[in-house]
Structure 1
Amino acid sequence: MELVAFPVELLVSIIVCLDVRDILRCREVCVFFKTLIDEDVHTQYKIELALAGMEDGPPSALTPSDRLAILRERQEAWKSLTWKARTEYDMRRGGVWELYGGVLAQADGDRTLVCAQLPSVIRGIEEKVWTVEDVGVKIRDFGMDPAQDLLIIIQHHTEGSDLLSRVHLRSLVSGKIHPHAPKGGMLMHKLRPGQYSYTIQTSEDFLGLLIQSFELGESELLIWNWKSGTLRLHLHGEFLPSFAFLTSQYILITTFPDEDPDEEGNFPHTITSRILVVDVDAAPEQPTQLSDLDYLCAFHYPTLSNNFTTIAMSLRSDPGPHWRPNPSLKVPFHISRTDRLFVITMWLTEGHAHVALLSLIPASTFLSAMASLAPGETRREFEWSEWGPRGSRFLVAPSRHTTVWVCYVYGMTFVMVLRSGSQQVIMTLDFNQLDIRRTLCEDDPETETPTENARLVTETTEFRRAGVFLDPVQTSLPYWLRKTRPLGGEGAEGEGHFEAVMLSEDSLIMVSSQSHIRKYRVLTF
């Protein structure tokens, strides 16, 4: 009780420095503390940031009261899927594109990039369109990190009988060599002649490059420190379907068994599909086969029935860990650097029939399991029952689930498009667990009320597709399901036709790539 005698200003200064969970515990101590916390705008802003899965932005002229009002407006807009403005961009014919960190970039021809900083009405981000003229090389593929003004250009270069993959590190704004890149501004890797596809991801100083050749039946995963040019990890093998950074130290790699059917056409399934966790800091210096890798741990999926086999897996999560917007944008707040959702798509086949499954897993599921590892322990196997039923959700992917426009997850939210009669419906699945817990507190007036277009899914669901798994598969991780019909009633040509929807921090991006309608339609929040 001696704390009550402290000056109010001093108490508030102490409380606002606490972790949000501790602030909420203080609020339950007595009426005095509850009133103190509820009436202080600094504390309320900190609480609302955490519940929204956000972090405070850089200092600016905006007061905490201003930021709190903007935050509440932003949350209300996304919960009702009520966008504030609309922008359109023509689809270029360069063949490669990227959406990351609020920037949509497209190749225009084979040497030029056209970039657009997507605007935000609520967070005060102005639209900016610029062109990175002739970059000096033919663009085979590219990636980017606007927060670090980093542009990554892949070039194929032949020297005699050797094929070199040149990784050029440039400024996204100017196209010049990045000032933090190693001498020459380029990384190189030798390949066998053939056709290759690339997956490019960044996490702070790390650059990850997955190189796959279905023609040659081989894959390589390279992790560089792009500033020093040091190669930190080099994995190779026949099956490296996809990867993502869990943190800057740990990467996730999907794997599935490569098995031939027996004489009766059944698959033995002696090994389930898994997600491996690899510690970059403990990785061997020399090139290593995935099968020989001393991985940290593995998360197993349920066993498939004898009729089904996995033919492909993909892993998506945006943005990378510890990512924050470029300070030049001066945003009042931004998405949390730790709360991220991973979306794993599993393509299965039964003879000529195909089915795609979605496994949605928050980073906290992996990290909490990893916290149970003993010091120095490796190759720990987490069975499905240990992590999957309570820590994830399994869904059948919609028929329109895309393999091309794959930027369908941002932060803790996944977006997809479904057809409802003659109309298309955009649906978001929001896995922000703190906000869901608040919703479940019935006495909280700030909680969201379920409506026709929004409902909280908390019940355990069983995977309904008969015969896919050997045993019943149930999952129960709660999420908010929200939906909207974005173009209902509009009469302009092609308005109701879009084949995919993508997601950024301030936008829903509808994609139409038919020959007569080649557009990105951006719904801005």
Structure 2
Amino acid sequence: MAITDLPPELLVAVFSLLMAADLVNVKQLQYIIELELLGMSDNPPCGLPTSTKLHRLRELARSWRDMRFTPGISLPAAASRVYAFSAGVFAQVNSKGVSIEERRWTVKPTDVLNDIEAIYLDPSQDLLVVVAPGLSITSAPEWRLHLLSLTGPGTPHPLTSEPCRTFGDIYGFDSNFSMHIEGDILGFFLSPGFGSVRCICSWKSPSVVLDLPQCVILVSGREPLHRAG
């Protein structure tokens, strides 16, 4: 049991016996108070001493108050569509204030991934989807979705039974496409304009939930809703 687990009445009775200067100098108490003031919670697995965590917490609060932050990082820009956001996050960068380390993933061209068109991420599921154009055995254009693991770059995701999904492109690579990942449901949108959708499927199994040429799709949780157009 920690001291914070005691009833407030007992805490007040104990603290009332201490000098004000002693209370101010208690780092653990200061840390708890400032966490509450900032609306944050402690990170139990963190092994840093309380004095260090208190210093970083105050630095973080000062950065937001004065709008002065640590130097950022620069990412190379290329004339392609290989950049994507996941849950509103583009990349995980380091932050000394909250003990977050920078993480980078590199997907290099191989015999299989020789022309990367786009990438999509879902870090919560350790999922990296790499989209690459290709040709079928009949020389028809198709898109290939490679379902890979983020923690094992270049290796198939362990939960998928079909690491590479293929979808024919009736527009001959002149179409616009996008993708949405919701749990084990993956929506692959393919169209020359607004409103055309190619396929809604499960990335963990070969099963196809919906395969409609013209519709509007709304994905809510695990259930895709559609309206034919």
| Partner of residue 95, structure 2 | 120
The Cα shift of 1:141 comes to: 1.6
Question: Is the 8 Å Cα contact of residues 201 and 209 (structure 1) preserved in structure 2?
Answer: yes
| Partner of residue 280, structure 1 | 222
| Partner of residue 156, structure 1 | 133
Query: Which runs of structure 2 are paired with 1:355-366 in the superposition (5 Å)?
Result: none
SS in 1 for 2:59: helix
Amino acid of the structure 1 residue aligned with 2:66: S
Query: Which runs of structure 2 are paired with 1:28-427 in the superposition (5 Å)?
Result: 32=12, 40=29, 44=33, 47=36, 51-52=39-40, 57=43, 59-63=45-49, 66-100=52-86, 104=91, 118-127=93-102, 131-135=106-110, 136-137=112-113, 138-146=115-123, 148-159=125-136, 160=138, 163-172=141-150, 175-194=153-172, 195-202=174-181, 205-215=183-193, 218-220=196-198, 222=200, 224=202, 226=203, 228-229=204-205, 231=207, 233-234=209-210, 236=212, 238=214, 240=216, 251=219, 278-280=220-222, 289-290=226-227
Question: Percent identity between the aligned chains?
Answer: 17
Question: Is the 8 Å Cα contact of residues 166 and 186 (structure 1) preserved in structure 2?
Answer: yes
The Cα shift of 1:163 comes to: 4.7
280 and 162 in structure 1: CA distance in 2 versus 1, 3 angstrom threshold:
farther
Q: Aligned partners of 2:62, 2:184: CA distance in 1, in Å?
A: 35
The Cα shift of 1:168 comes to: 0.5
Q: Aligned partners of 1:41, 1:207: CA distance in 2, in Å?
A: 46
SS in 2 for 1:151: strand
Q: Aligned partners of 2:222, 2:35: CA distance in 1, in Å?
A: 33
Q: State the Cα deviation string for residues 284-306 of structure 1 (Å, max 9, x = none).
A: xxxx74259xxxxxxxxxxxxxx
Pairing partner for 1:12 from 4, 12, 23: 4
SS in 2 for 1:74: helix
The two structures, once aligned, show a CA RMSD in angstroms of: 4.3
Question: Is the 8 Å Cα contact of residues 142 and 166 (structure 2) preserved in structure 1?
Answer: yes
Q: Aligned partners of 1:230, 1:48: CA distance in 2, in Å?
A: 50
The Cα shift of 1:61 comes to: 1.6
Higher relative contact order (CA 8 A, sep 6+): 1
| Partner of residue 489, structure 1 | none
Q: Which has the higher strand share?
A: 1
Structure 1 stretches lacking a partner, 5+ long: 1-8, 16-26, 105-116, 244-250, 252-277, 293-525
Q: State the Cα deviation string for residues 377-414 of structure 1 (Å, max 9, x = none).
A: xxxxxxxxxxxxxxxxxxxxxxxxxxxxxxxxxxxxxx
TM-score norm. by structure 2 comes to: 0.64
Q: State the Cα deviation string for residues 228-276 of structure 1 (Å, max 9, x = none).
A: 32657437474638x6xxxxxxx4xxxxxxxxxxxxxxxxxxxxxxxxx
Q: Aligned partners of 2:65, 2:142: CA distance in 1, in Å?
A: 48
The Cα shift of 1:202 comes to: 3.9
Q: Aligned partners of 1:85, 1:140: CA distance in 2, in Å?
A: 31
Structure 2 stretches lacking a partner, 5+ long: 17-23
Q: State the Cα deviation string for residues 121-179 of structure 1 (Å, max 9, x = none).
A: 32344546564321422222211234554321112333337554321012346532234
The Cα shift of 1:213 comes to: 0.7
Greater Rg by CA: 2
Q: Aligned partners of 1:78, 1:234: CA distance in 2, in Å?
A: 46
